């Protein structure tokens, strides 16, 4: 097994700096244009407020601020009923944080992290590989490119599946329930799953009871929903629907 290094892992941030630059630049451009057309001042204010809001969120997510990212990921693994024997997949692994946490928590497991690593975040396979090496689990975690909408694995390839705050980000599938179905496809019968996403956001997933009924109709042995949005460590300002205000965990046994 590889030895833990003195270097620190870098799990980056759910709010990319690009978002801040775009909002900040928009604010400056519209402020300039407002000298010609006063109505542009409204857009300048909206962009400025968005920039300030996302800067606050970025600070709260970071380890220098509220350190919310590992806390939110921990909600997903809390009560996760898996014996840690065999193979697990982390769908939309980002910078590898959850995959690596799984590998540390389950010392006999092999973990595969999958992500399409598009341009919206500072994440990449290299970032994931580097973090896994630093954390001393590089020999049991593999990262590969792939999309959550069509996972590059056969049916029943994994003993466990997890995914954190990814499904709502997948652009090429409008019905996000299909992403849950695709995630479950690669889990063995009797395998464990835990997915955290904006499941309480009705515009994205519809009613939670309907969602649970749909999942049961796919032949899943057991599924339950846990509302994690009211976790006390989440600041009130981050409880907007598109941030952490509608998060919940779907977990069970296939």
Ligand X SMILES: C[S@@+](CC[C@H](N)C(=O)[O-])C[C@H]1O[C@@H](n2cnc3c(N)ncnc32)[C@H](O)[C@@H]1O
Residue 253: helix, strand or coil by DSSP? strand
Smallest distance, Å, CB 29 to ligand X? Answer: 27
| Nearer residue to ligand X within complex by CB, 20 or 44 | 20
Regarding 54 and contact with ligand X (CB under 6 A), the answer is no
Distance (Å, whole) CA 239 – CA 65: 17
Q: Which two tokens stand for residue 86?
A: 């065999």
Q: Which of residues 132-151 bind ligand X (CB under 6 A)?
A: 147-149
Question: Can you tell me which of 54, 121, 199, 205 binds ligand X, judged by CB under 6 A?
Answer: 121
Question: Can you tell me which of 40, 62, 84, 169 binds ligand X, judged by CB under 6 A?
Answer: 169
The beta strands (E) that lie in 123-177 are given as 141-145, 158-164
CB 72 within 8 A of CB 165: yes
Q: At what angle do helices 68-77 and 97-105 cross, to 10 degrees?
A: 50
Name residue, tokens 């599946």: 161
Measure the N-to-C terminal CA separation of the chain; round to a whole number of Å: 32
Regarding 117 and contact with ligand X (CB under 6 A), the answer is yes
| Nearer residue to ligand X within complex by CB, 88 or 170 | 170
Cα-flanking dihedrals φ and ψ of residue 208, to 5°? Answer: -60, -40
Regarding 166 and contact with ligand X (CB under 6 A), the answer is yes
Closest C-alpha to 245, from 187, 199, 213: 199
Closest C-alpha to 146, from 163, 134, 160, 131: 163
Transcribe 98-138 into DSSP letters: HHHHHHHH-TT-EEEEEE---TTSS--HHHHHHHHHHTT-T
Regarding 170 and contact with ligand X (CB under 6 A), the answer is yes
Q: Which of residues 177-236 bind ligand X (CB under 6 A)?
A: none
Q: Which stretch binds ligand X (CB under 6 A): 41-49, 110-118, 134-142, 234-242?
A: 110-118
Q: Which stretch binds ligand X (CB under 6 A): 25-33, 102-110, 115-123, 197-205?
A: 115-123
Q: Which two tokens stand for residue 248?
A: 């919940």
Regarding 80 and contact with ligand X (CB under 6 A), the answer is no
Smallest distance, Å, CB 48 to ligand X? Answer: 24
Smallest distance, Å, CB 72 to ligand X? Answer: 7
Smallest distance, Å, CB 15 to ligand X? Answer: 9
Question: Can you tell me which of 53, 116, 153, 225 binds ligand X, judged by CB under 6 A?
Answer: 116
Question: Can you tell me which of 13, 57, 60, 92 binds ligand X, judged by CB under 6 A?
Answer: 92
Where does this chain bind ligand X (CB under 6 A)? 14, 69, 73, 92-94, 97-98, 115-118, 121, 123, 147-149, 164-166, 169-170
């Amino acid at each position: 097994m590889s030895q833990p290094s003195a270097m620190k892992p870098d799990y980056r941030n759910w709010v990319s700096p690009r978002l801040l630059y775009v909002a900040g630049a928009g604010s400056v451009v519209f402020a300039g244009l407002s000298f010609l057309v006063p109505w542009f001042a409204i857009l300048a204010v909206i962009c400025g407020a968005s920039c300030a809001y996302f800067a606050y969120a970025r600070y709260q997510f970071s380890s220098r601020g509220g350190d919310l990212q590992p806390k939110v990921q921990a909600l997903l693994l809390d009560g996760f009923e898996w014996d840690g024997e065999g193979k697990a997949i982390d769908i939309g692994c980002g910078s590898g944080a959850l995959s690596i946490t799984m590998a540390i928590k389950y010392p006999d497991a092999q973990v595969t992290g999958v992500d399409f690593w598009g341009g919206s975040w500072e994440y990449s396979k290299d970032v994931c590989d580097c973090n896994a090496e630093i954390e001393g689990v590089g020999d049991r975690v593999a990262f590969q490119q792939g999309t959550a909408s069509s996972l590059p694995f056969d049916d029943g390839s994994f003993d466990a599946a997890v995914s954190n705050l990814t499904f709502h980000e997948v652009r090429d599938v409008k019905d996000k329930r299909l992403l849950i179905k695709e995630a479950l496809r690669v889990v063995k019968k009797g395998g464990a799953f835990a997915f955290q996403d904006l499941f309480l956001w009705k515009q994205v997933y519809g009613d939670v009871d309907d969602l649970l009924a749909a999942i049961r109709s796919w032949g899943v042995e057991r599924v339950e929903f846990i509302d994690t949005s009211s976790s006390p460590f989440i600041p009130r300002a981050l409880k907007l629907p598109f941030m952490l205000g509608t998060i919940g965990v779907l977990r069970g046994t296939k």
